[in-house]
Amino acid sequence: MSEQTGGATGTTTSPGATRATSSGSTSTASTGSTGSTASKRTSRTAASADRTAARKTSKTAASKTPASKTTARKTTKTAASKSAASGAAPAPAPAAAAAKPAESHAALVRRARRINRELAEAYPYAHPELDFDSPFQLLIATVLSAQTTDLRVNQTTPALFARYPAPEDMAAADPEAMEAILRPTGFFRAKTKSVIGLSAALRDRFGGEVPGRLEDLVTLPGVGRKTANVVLGNAFGVPGLTVDTHFGRLVRRFGWTTAQDPEKVESDVAELFPKSDWTMLSHRLIFHGRRICHSRKPACGACPIAPLCPSYGEGETDPAKAEKLLKYEKAGAPGQRLKPPADFPGPAAKPLEAS
């Protein structure tokens, strides 16, 4: 009996055991199903978390970008401020603020000729500021005017011409005696050599007469184009441009030329005016340069051609202050000639012994 029961037990499961087994199987299946569901939920949660994190990261990056731009702008402004404080050159102006177009040649000619007319009204008495009674005296006086004032030459030449009235007399002069006369003009030894040499050339090559051609004048010792044009224009009536330091300075300020070489300056200005204007134009420019348009501090506020001048503002623009910078007759003072023309509005200059 017991053997049968034992055999049955080995092959037959009791109802309790069956329920237990069934329950275990069900439990295992349930656990597997639950695990699978949890895994899926975990995956969905992780994916959702990743997406949320990605969105947050994107928003954070986006929110940081304006800050970066703001920082960049601040950095740029700071750099610009430092650049200005250090005196560095500012950034180029935008195209909208570009300079006005260059002046055409026709417009330049019109403006230049208008300036000449305005100067003619301001200086109707313009003239060569060297005293002379003959072409020979004008030639000698012009040579002596280098590196000194016309006033000093005018104060010196009366004694010179009284002692040596003609080229033949001056050519035979004792150098030491002439040096004593010319000492007040400066560089008197070199000037003595020049005037004796050119006087000898006039005596030997031109019969004691001053030639009336540029080509001949520039062959004389100490005579260049400027001196030749002074003599031709004022002693022979041959038009010429006198490119001295005042002439050159003013025509560059007026924008008539940018050249520094005197011959190029002469050529550029000659193209703007008829030849008949050249001599008087020279006198007007030199007068204006000596009286108002000074080298170091031009009196812009007292200038009659200020509206036509592209360099207006280089000097004093306040009218009251500018008026104090005027010279010679514009300031009520004597001019440079001891024997000025009758229409000159200022008093005559004083002789050397009275000055």
The residues carrying an active-site annotation are 226, 244
- Asked if residue 198 lies in contact with residue 208, where contact means CB atoms within 8 angstroms, the answer is no
The reply to whether 300 sits in an annotated binding site is: yes
Give the CA angle between residues 82, 87, 91 to the nearest 5°. Answer: 75
**Who's near 138: CB < 8 A, 6+ residues apart?**
128, 130, 132, 230, 231, 234, 235
Inter-residue long-range contacts of 287-290, CB under 8 Å, 24+ positions, other chains counted: 287/119, 287/123, 287/126, 288/119, 288/122, 288/123, 288/246, 288/250, 289/245, 289/246, 289/247, 289/249, 289/250, 290/246, 290/327, 290/328
**E strands within the chain?**
none
Please give the Cα distance from 237 to 79 (Å, whole number): 65
Structure token pair of residue 204:
């030997």
The reply to whether 315 sits in an annotated binding site is: no
CB atoms within 10 A of CB 329: 18
The reply to whether 293 sits in an annotated binding site is: yes
Helix (H) or strand (E) holding 27: helix 15-85
Rg, C-alpha atoms of the chain: 50
Helix (H, G, I), strand (E, B) or coil at 349: coil
The reply to whether 299 sits in an annotated binding site is: no
Burial category of 94 from C-beta neighbours within 10 Å (exposed 0-12, middle 13-18, buried 19 and up): exposed
The binding site consists of 293, 300, 303, 309
The binding site for [4Fe-4S] cluster consists of 293, 300, 303, 309
